[in-house]
């Protein structure tokens, strides 16, 4: 039972264009969502997060949108750069109740390739 799903295994975009990575979740208890970026032979690194009380969070070229009614979030990268080529994971956890903040449920990942 995959509670967090990234249905696109890969995405290819041209440098300078927008990259949109999508993620769906099924567990209504999730109320905090994160995106991680992973390069080969490295561990995932935090990119951006969003609380369920918001519908948008922006950090430089990266924006995450959350649609709670659809249980859907997306990561927009504008403009895309070749250095953005990596695997992107979305992750979720229930924020309240003293949960360990790294106890995350991950999606399968999307491989983003940005062509020069």
Partner 1 sequence: NAGVTQTPKFQVLKTGQSMTLQCAQDMNHNSMYWYRQDPGMGLRLIYYSASEGTTDKGEVPNGYNVSRLNKREFSLRLESAAPSQTSVYFCASSEKTHRGAFFGQGTRLTVV
Residues in contact with partner 1 by CB under 8 A are 4, 6, 9, 32, 34, 36, 41-46, 49, 51, 89, 91, 93, 100-109
Taking the complex as a whole, how short is the minimal distance between the CB of residue 37 and partner 1, in angstroms? 11
Q: How many CB atoms lie within 10 A of CB 77?
A: 23
Taking the complex as a whole, how short is the minimal distance between the CB of residue 51 and partner 1, in angstroms? 7
Sequence-distant (≥ 6) Cβ neighbours of residue 97 within 8 angstroms: none
Tokens of 8: 């696109």
Taking the complex as a whole, how short is the minimal distance between the CB of residue 1 and partner 1, in angstroms? 10
Tokens of 65: 């949108």
Which of 9, 82 has the CB closer to partner 1?
9
Which of 21, 89 has the CB closer to partner 1?
89
């Amino acid at each position: 039972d995959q509670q967090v799903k990234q249905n696109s295994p890969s995405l290819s975009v041209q440098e300078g264009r927008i990259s949109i990575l999508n993620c769906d979740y099924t567990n209504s208890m999730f109320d905090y969502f994160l995106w991680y970026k992973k390069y080969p032979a490295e561990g995932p690194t935090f990119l951006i997060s969003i609380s369920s009380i918001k519908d948008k969070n922006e950090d430089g070229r990266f924006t995450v949108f959350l649609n709670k009614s659809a249980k859907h979030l997306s990561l927009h990268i504008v403009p895309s750069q070749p250095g953005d080529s990596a695997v992107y994971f979305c992750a979720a956890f229930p924020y309240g109740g003293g949960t360990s903040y790294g106890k995350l449920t991950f999606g399968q990942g999307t491989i983003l390739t940005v062509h020069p």
